[in-house]
Amino acid sequence: MRADRLVATLLLMQARGRITAAELAEELEVSRATARRDLEALSAAGVPVYPQPGRGGGWSLVGGARTDLSGLTSAEAQALFLVAGPAASVAPEVKSALRKLVRALPQTFRSDAEAAAQATIVDTAGWGEDVKERPGLVATLQTAIVQQVQVRLSYRKRGEKPEGRVVDPWGLVDKDGTWYFIAGTAAGQRTFRLDRILGATLTGVPSDRPPDFELAGAWDEIVTAVEERRATASATILVPTRFLDVFRHQHGRHCTVVEEVGDRTRVELTAPRAFDIARNVAGWGGLVTVESPEVAEHLARIGEELVSRYRRASPAGPAEP
């Protein structure tokens, strides 16, 4: 993406004062020719950059100028990475752009910007709940994560009275509109639903976070554990091997390959109920063969309902005189 390279180039020039095409190429992982073209494009677009030939030369901003883009304050950098960070969990090109941008920021801004980028991830696969509005506490908890300070929560478990606790903020997850807060407690790592948090206050006390904690990995473990508890029904299904990658992509962690059977592959599909499995594979029609009787019965009922509702009536014959 050329746009993110041009942004990174401006920030690098502000941070270093002067940069050569070779240095820029190494930082942005492009060829020297591409780096030179980007520098020339900035100059042609009216950005005050100019080349200095000879030993010790390179490209600089005229008079050490600071453009609006390259003059980001610490707060602005945090805001940028808080907004773009969640997108990086689902878009590799955004992750690449942020990695380049953070290297270009002044050293004093980098730690907060990196923390902001890693504060939140997006998980687009829902758990069958209605999408909700973004909770107002998201901004407060993101601030706690970036500033690495403990948070005092008022939290209400389902069917219980609210209780207060102080936690170490580690990360936020937007799971298809339902938000979760991962934090460290005296009893270890815990996950809180934001719609059950009644209030959150920053204490100002430095928080503790394991040096090897990685939000995406922690969330993957949480999802695996939850879905193992929820996946009480299973079915074996024969899928044409040529469509196996598509089938597995559609069902994700719920699909496990069992064995190859000629030009087909037997897989195991799990879900909370047999009906959920039937509903999930109904769109595959006759391409797949469901071997589990209970799921097959649900599929037959789904098929009968569809035929009953959508079968076209036979054309009417000529009216009787």
According to the model, what pLDDT value does residue 137 have? 86
Residues 130 and 219 in one domain: yes
Let me know if residue 77 belongs to a domain. no
Closest CA to 81 of 111, 124, 125: 111
Q: What is the tally of structural domains in the chain?
A: 3
Is residue 197 a part of any domain in this protein?
yes
Same domain, 212 and 258: no
- The domain boundary, picked from 64, 90, 105, lies at 64
pLDDT digits (tens, 9 = 90+) for 289-300: 999 999 999 999
- What pLDDT, on a 0 to 100 scale, did the predictor assign at position 163? 85
pTM of the model: 0.50
Q: Are 134 and 195 in the same domain?
A: yes
What digits encode the pLDDT tens for the residues 252-286? 778 899 999 999 999 999 888 899 999 999 999 99
199 and 128 in one domain? yes
Closest CA to 118 of 92, 74, 87: 87
Domain endpoint, select from 163, 194, 225: 225
Coil, strand, or helix at residue 23?
helix
Is 36:22 a contact under the CB 8 Å cutoff? no
Question: Tens digits of per-residue pLDDT, 169-227?
Answer: 998 888 877 889 999 998 899 999 888 999 999 999 999 988 888 888 888 888 888 87
Is 221 inside a domain boundary?
A: yes
pLDDT digits (tens, 9 = 90+) for 77-133: 555 555 445 544 444 555 555 555 555 555 555 565 556 556 666 665 555 555 456
**Residue 69 scores a pLDDT above 50:** no
pLDDT at position 76 over 90: no
In a domain, 132, yes or no: yes
**What's the Rg (C-alpha) of the chain?**
27
Same domain, yes or no: 127 and 207: yes
> According to the model, what pLDDT value does residue 153 have?
93
Task: Check residue 18 and give left, alpha or beta (phi > 0: left; psi -120 to 50: alpha).
Answer: beta
* pLDDT, mean over the chain: 77
Q: List, for residues 17-66, the tens digit of each pLDDT value.
A: 778 888 888 888 888 888 888 888 777 666 667 777 766 678 877 654 44
The alpha helices in the chain, defined as continuous H runs, are 2-16, 21-28, 32-44, 74-88, 92-104, 107-117, 137-147, 215-230, 244-251, 274-281, 293-310
Judge if 241 and 168 occupy the same domain.
no
Is 170 inside any structural domain? Answer: yes
From 187, 208, 225, give the residue that closes a domain.
225
What number is the average pLDDT over the span 150-171?
Answer: 88
User: Are 249 and 264 contained in the same domain?
Assistant: yes
Q: Does a structural domain hold residue 178?
A: yes
Residue 114 falls inside a structural domain: no
- Give the per-residue pLDDT at 203: 93
Residues 220 and 248 in one domain: no
Specify whether 211 is located in the same domain as 133.
yes
Does 211 lie in the same domain as 125?
yes
**Cα 87 to Cα 7, 91, 121, 206, 253, distances in angstroms:** 18, 6, 7, 28, 21
CATH of the domain at 301: 3.30.70
Q: What's the pLDDT at 95?
A: 54
Find the mean pLDDT for residues 234-239: 95
Q: Which domain holds residue 184?
A: 119-225
Residue 258 lies in a domain: yes
Looking up residue 36, the CATH number of its domain turns out to be 1.10.10.10
